[in-house]
Amino acid sequence: MRTEIQTGKKVFPRTVSFLLALLMLLGAMSTVGCGKEQVEEPSTVTDAPEETDNYQKDNLPDTLNYEGREFCTLYWNGAPFVEFEPEENATNALSQSVYERNDNVENRLNVVLTWRGIDGDNSHQTKFITYLESTIGSNLHEYDLVASYSMCAGAMAMRGYSVDLMSTDYFDYEQPWWPNELTSQAVVNNKLYFASGDISTNLLWNMYAVFYNKDLMEKLGITDNMATLVKNYQWDWDTMLSLSKDVYVDLDTIPGKSLGDQFGFGIYRVYADALFYGSGFRTVETDSATGELILSPTFGSGDVQSLIVEMLDYFETDDAWYDNGEGWSTKDYFVNDQFLFDLRPLYYAPQVIFAQDTKKEVNFGVLPVPMYYSDQGKYYTSVGFPYSIYSLPIDAKDISCSSAVLECLASEGYRKTTPVVFEQTMKLRYSEDDVVSAMFDVIRENLTFDLGRLFCSSFNKGAYSNATYYLFRTVAIAGNNPNWISIYKGEEGAMADVLDDIYTKLK
């Protein structure tokens, strides 16, 4: 039984003073790559006496001791936020928390973490996989753990390079740092070849949420009962449409609807996937009778058709702005009170709302993506692609040790790095405001791990590349095409073939 920790006050101890941590950080920055240079002796500073908060602890035995062995993780360069090693000479809180997480792992398990980054972001996936072939595929035993760009983990598993985590000694899927949906959606034939969650800071930053502008809400005379709506599962599509009605004001000099105006809701086309997943739809699921992977009956359903029609109708009105251009992610319309609701990845807060050159301060809150059905009873959070998925390479020298380090990184990340992501999103200490903290946890705990999304780069046998996200986001929504059933039917056979192939390789 998973321990639910989303309610109640939690305390994030700042276990070492910032200055001390900074000195430790500067002293430990000598690592460059695996097997090249040793990091300095792990610090002996521990925070055990202060870890008496009500955060869930892991079940790793205290007796684990890997006798100072070097533990090498391969990761992808270009991750938007610090996640693996602390940045050199960095004094920011996130980098400090990554340092503390790694330090705790080293001290607890008596390992020396080394890291090697290679090209592997969206445009370098082939390069990353080719490199994996040259090392794991050649059984060189170079790496103990692989942290890849999210789309690469599926390709790695398909090639047979990933260990089934469920069969390893210390991977503990019931812990809160591994999202519920990871094991309910990404397990194939009782095997799980990769994992993510609190272990990846970039996953948390890329979670889609709806920002709402409290200043504008007040100006419009709307009572802010958003937290209650969310808590009571009343935050749904109809509620959002009704709250965003009549918000429109033609503010700029361009007559009629234009981007300089005031809107109830704003969204960029790339983020439209979040509304698909927020509705509980998915592209792939497991056939409960046979255990095989199948295209989800929800994917090609009339319900998706209805959502698309409603979205397109909504975007046509003055209530909503649907942006089909580029550069949306850095725009400050929301900060300037032009949008009541704005669907965004969470990194919008540190990158734009709190950016140093932003002159205006906006009061805002974050909400999960609204449910489509009023009786849905559950929110679902999807994630933009630039985050990490962790895999244990089959040629790792000691699978048991790799399993322990993976679990320990996630567990320590849950207590060290996740609170900092929260603090930098909300400019609040996690313990300061239970309502805001609970909202963040609703978003975080309902992450979806649809295999069609995780393996999207394999779905290329039909008319479209990456069909499992491209069809909805681009062909239907951005293409302003409400004929979902026919779009889906045209691609269904090709997608089913790919899925058969995936299942055959993973089962």
Residues in touch with Ca ion (CB under 5 A): 250, 252, 254, 258, 261
User: Cβ closer to Ca ion: 47 or 250?
Assistant: 250
Whichever of 164 and 261 has its CB closer to Ca ion, that residue is: 261
Q: Which is nearer to Ca ion, 221 or 255 (CB)?
A: 255
Lookup: tokens for 70: 């070097």
Q: Least CB distance from residue 250 to Ca ion, whole Å? A: 4
Report, in Å, the least distance between residue 249 CB and Ca ion: 9
Query: Can you tell me which residue has the tokens 């700029």?
Result: 252
- CB closer to Ca ion, 221 vs 256: 256
- Comparing every residue's Cβ against Ca ion, the nearest one is 258
C-beta separation of 105 from 113 below 8 A: yes
Residue closer to Ca ion (CB basis): 88 or 252 = 252
Smaller CB separation from Ca ion, 248 or 341: 248
- Per the CB < 8 A criterion, the answer to whether 389 and 148 are in contact is yes
Say if strands 284-286 and 388-391 run parallel, antiparallel, or are unpaired.
Answer: unpaired
Minimum distance from residue 332 beta carbon to Ca ion (Å)? 18
Q: How far is the CB of 205 from Ca ion (least distance, A)?
A: 32
Kindly tell me which of 317 and 376 has the beta carbon lying closer to Ca ion.
317
* Closer residue to Ca ion, CB minimum distance, 44 or 253: 253
The first and second tokens of residue 177, run together, are 């740092």
Q: Which of 21, 197, 144, 22 is nearest to 398 (CA)?
A: 144
Q: Least CB distance from residue 322 to Ca ion, whole Å?
A: 15
Q: Which residue, 247 or 392, has its beta carbon nearer to Ca ion? A: 247
Q: How far is CA 467 from CA 299, 388, 456, in A?
A: 12, 21, 7
Q: Please state, in angstroms and rounded to a whole number, the distance separating the CA atoms of residues 153 and 161.
A: 10
23 or 254: CB nearest Ca ion: 254
The minimum distance between CB 251 and Ca ion, in angstroms, equals 7
Q: How far is the CB of 263 from Ca ion (least distance, A)?
A: 10
**Please, are residues 319 and 247 in contact by the beta-carbon 8 Å criterion?**
yes
Q: Cα-Cα-Cα-Cα dihedral of 487, 490, 493, 499, to 10°?
A: -30
Encoded tokens for 447: 């992450």
Alpha helices (H) along 317-462: 348, 399-426, 434-445, 451-454
CA distance 388 to 112: 21
Phi and psi of 8, rounded to 5°?
90, 160
Whole-angstrom CA distances from 401 to 66, 70, 168, 316, 473 are 8, 11, 9, 55, 41
**298 close to 282: Cβ distance less than 8 angstroms:** yes
CA atoms of 19 and 451, how far apart (whole Å): 43
DSSP string, 202-228: HHHHTBEEEEEEHHHHHHTT----HHH
In whole angstroms, the minimum distance from the beta carbon of 246 to Ca ion comes to: 16
Write down the least CB distance from residue 338 to Ca ion, Å: 11
Residue 301 Cβ, how far from Ca ion at the closest point, in Å? 37
